């Protein structure tokens, strides 16, 4: 009988599960879905900077705040004494399993940081073996989805899985922004895709963007946790300063060329005072094309202090131009004839679509004040983060598109999703041993985010 160090952790021994004859599976995470470590360039200890709950905001500011380098196309950390790395332990699965694998998080079994955890358990229970037929790909999600380092990393992981399984093609399962990366790989490395990939099961991908969440992320940031727990996590403002310099975020802005049922908008109740002292209050509307001018004005004074220096972080036109190029790359992605592609999207949840700042009673005079204003949303159907309209609009020949009633991250542990995955992979559980977990703690839920 296996020994468990603490009843908080349950029993994850898989030795009793029969290892079946399986094609390899590679799990690909999305935005915020990988552990990020800060590794000193000289001597010192490697520390986890994403995700963590204790000293989270302090470590985040010190180690992961970044600026975009237009000469290289990479977002580079302000801390020049360390580098951001993704752990490769457990054949890439560790980085996307439990995003905060601390004793505290495991003891309370905080559901939202148990990322691919349940899916990994399900696949192991169906006969997949880590390092032979089951692998994970976590990556530096600050970067562009088409940047060379991420593309090369995905190719290397596919090649590893292909060789480890005896030359079998790989089945991809992606979550959220991971689907955007796979489209970039398909477009830019088509020969490698044809060589290594067998099937692709896509979950909750913002194919045409995530209008409400991404527009507001660029203007005011993101906050993952409400209530008391928020004091232990990265603040909304701290996250905002990173996202303004992240190509991956710009690449998920709403697609201006897509024919939406209704164009997503950012609305601003604006008060403007004339020279004669008279004021006028009006509702200004910005569509996907016009939003760049709004971002320009709202973020023109945005700055942070780092190591005694003030660093300006306005709306980044270099990144915006790069992201426009990424959209062209995505549009050029075409699946091979006869390829098996499946799309699962979340439905039945209110999902932010339009953002409105200010009100008729309390209008905004200076657009820079938007960055300190919480929006009111109008909602559409989706998973709470990605509208179902965007997630369904893959532009690909799909064998099946299935809507599942679940939130963005919940799709990674949803039983209906698991049944669909097992059906499409053609597998069933091979043993009777089940993974025992502790009861989920009653805490404030982590907010949905594009991951």
Q: What is the mean pLDDT of residues 215-243?
A: 82
User: Over the chain, what is the mean pLDDT?
Assistant: 91
Q: What is the mean pLDDT of residues 367-387?
A: 97
Residue 357 has pLDDT above 60, yes or no: yes
* Residue tagged active-site, from 109, 117, 240, 408: 408
57 in active site: no
Cα dihedral angle (131, 136, 137, 139), rounded to 10 degrees? Answer: -110
Q: Which residue has the higher pLDDT, 180 or 234?
A: 180
pLDDT digits (tens, 9 = 90+) for 385-444: 999 999 999 999 999 999 999 999 999 999 999 999 999 999 999 864 444 333 333 333
Distance CA 356, CA 349 (A): 20
Give the contacts of 352 (CB within 8 A, at least 6 positions apart): 211, 212, 213, 216, 377, 378, 379, 385
pLDDT digits (tens, 9 = 90+) for 42-88: 989 999 999 988 889 999 999 999 999 999 999 999 999 999 999 99
- Looking at residue 45, what is its pLDDT? 93
Quick check: 392 and 345 in contact, CB under 8 A? yes
383 in active site: yes
408 in active site: yes
Distance CA 27, CA 173 (A): 5
Q: What is the mean pLDDT of residues 290-295?
A: 98
- Looking at residue 1, what is its pLDDT? 40
The secondary structure of 200-235 as a DSSP string is EEEES--TT--HHHHHHHHHH----B-GGGGGGS--
pLDDT band at 280 (very low <50, low <70, confident <90, very high): very high
- Looking at residue 106, what is its pLDDT? 80
Distance CA 233, CA 287 (A): 33
Distances, alpha carbon 83 to alpha carbons 29, 59, 76, 77, 448, in Å: 21, 13, 9, 7, 28
pLDDT band at 166 (very low <50, low <70, confident <90, very high): very high
Distance CA 327, CA 225 (A): 31
Quick check: 246 and 75 in contact, CB under 8 A? yes
Pairing of strands 170-175, 134-137: unpaired
* Residue tagged active-site, from 165, 176, 217, 248: 176
* Residue tagged active-site, from 121, 383, 390, 394: 383
pLDDT digits (tens, 9 = 90+) for 86-136: 999 999 999 999 999 988 878 877 787 899 999 999 999 999 999 999 999
pLDDT band at 225 (very low <50, low <70, confident <90, very high): low
pLDDT digits (tens, 9 = 90+) for 318-351: 999 999 999 999 999 999 999 999 999 999 999 9
Quick check: 140 and 35 in contact, CB under 8 A? no
Distance CA 235, CA 238 (A): 5
Q: What is the mean pLDDT of residues 284-305?
A: 98
């Amino acid at each position: 009988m296996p020994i468990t160090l603490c009843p908080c952790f349950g029993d994850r021994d898989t030795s009793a599960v029969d290892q079946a004859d399986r094609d390899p599976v590679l799990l690909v995470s999305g935005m915020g879905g990988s552990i990020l470590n800060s590794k000193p360039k000289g001597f010192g200890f490697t520390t986890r900077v994403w995700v963590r709950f204790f000293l989270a905001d302090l470590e985040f500011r010190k180690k992961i705040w970044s600026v975009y380098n237009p000469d290289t196309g990479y977002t580079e950390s302000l801390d020049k004494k360390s580098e951001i790395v993704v752990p490769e332990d457990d054949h890439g699965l560790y980085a996307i399993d439990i995003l905060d694998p601390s004793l505290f998080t495991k003891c309370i079994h905080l559901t939202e940081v148990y990322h691919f955890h349940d899916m990994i358990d399900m696949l192991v229970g169906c006969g997949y073996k880590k390092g032979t037929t089951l692998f994970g790909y976590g990556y530096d999600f600050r970067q562009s989805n088409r940047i060379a380092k991420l593309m090369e990393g995905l190719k290397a992981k596919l090649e590893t899985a292909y060789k480890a399984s005896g030359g079998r093609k790989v089945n991809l399962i992606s979550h959220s922004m991971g689907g955007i990366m796979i489209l970039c790989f398909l477009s830019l490395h088509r020969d490698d895709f044809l060589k290594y990939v067998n099937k692709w099961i896509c979950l909750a991908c913002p194919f045409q963007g995530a209008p409400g969440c991404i527009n507001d992320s660029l203007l005011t940031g993101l906050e993952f946790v409400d209530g008391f727990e928020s004091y232990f996590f990265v603040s909304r403002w701290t996250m905002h300063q990173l996202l303004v310099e992240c190509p991956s975020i710009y690449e998920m802005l709403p697609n201006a060329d897509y024919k939406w049922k209704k164009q997503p908008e950012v609305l601003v109740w604006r008060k403007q005072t004339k020279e004669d002292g008279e004021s006028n209050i009006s509702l200004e509307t910005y569509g996907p094309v016009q939003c760049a001018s709004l971002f320009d004005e709202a973020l023109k004074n945005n700055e942070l202090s780092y190591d005694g220096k003030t660093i300006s972080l306005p709306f980044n036109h270099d990144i915006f131009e790069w992201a426009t190029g990424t959209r062209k790359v995505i549009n050029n992605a075409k699946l091979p004839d006869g390829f098996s592609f499946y799309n699962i999207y979340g439905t039945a949840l209110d999902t932010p679509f339009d953002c409105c700042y200010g009100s008729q009673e309390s209008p905004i005079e200076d657009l820079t004040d938007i960055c300190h204003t919480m929006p009111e949303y109008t909602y559409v159907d989706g998973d709470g983060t990605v509208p179902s309209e965007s997630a369904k609009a893959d532009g690909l020949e799909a064998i099946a598109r299935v809507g599942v009633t679940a939130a963005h991250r919940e799709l990674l542990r949803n039983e209906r999703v698991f049944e669909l995955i097992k059906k499409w992979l053609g597998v069933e559980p091979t043993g009777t041993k089940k993974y025992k977990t502790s009861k989920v703690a009653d805490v404030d839920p982590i907010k949905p985010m594009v991951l």
